[in-house]
Structure 1
Amino acid sequence: MSSIVSIESLSGLVAFSVAVETGSFAAAGRKLGLSASAVGKAVERLEARLGLRLL
């Protein structure tokens, strides 16, 4: 992994953090102004980048 953090990675981290904090992708989406699907996809991309399952 590059030492430079991408905006996509940061978005994934925020989506993951808020999903854990709120307990669901739907609640995270409402808090972030995104759809539940967008939150889920951001977490999926983060999982793929890290090579592990987070949720």
Structure 2
Amino acid sequence: MGANKSTPRKIRLMSKLKQNAAVPAWIIVKTKRRVRTNPKRRQWRRTDVGVG
């Protein structure tokens, strides 16, 4: 992807970046380890972002 990006595309990429975070430790503790993984987690090399 080129260095020059439009603002809407940047916003969509930032949203995907935030979505890719791990589950916080306090949530794992709060749910007694029932919630451990983020189902929307994406590996940058394997899966396409699909931003357009």
Normalising by structure 2, what TM-score?
Answer: 0.36
Higher relative contact order (CA 8 A, sep 6+): 2
Q: Compute the TM-score of the two structures, normalised by the length of structure 1.
A: 0.35
**Structure having the larger proportion of residues in helix:** 1
Greater Cα radius of gyration, structure 1 or 2:
2
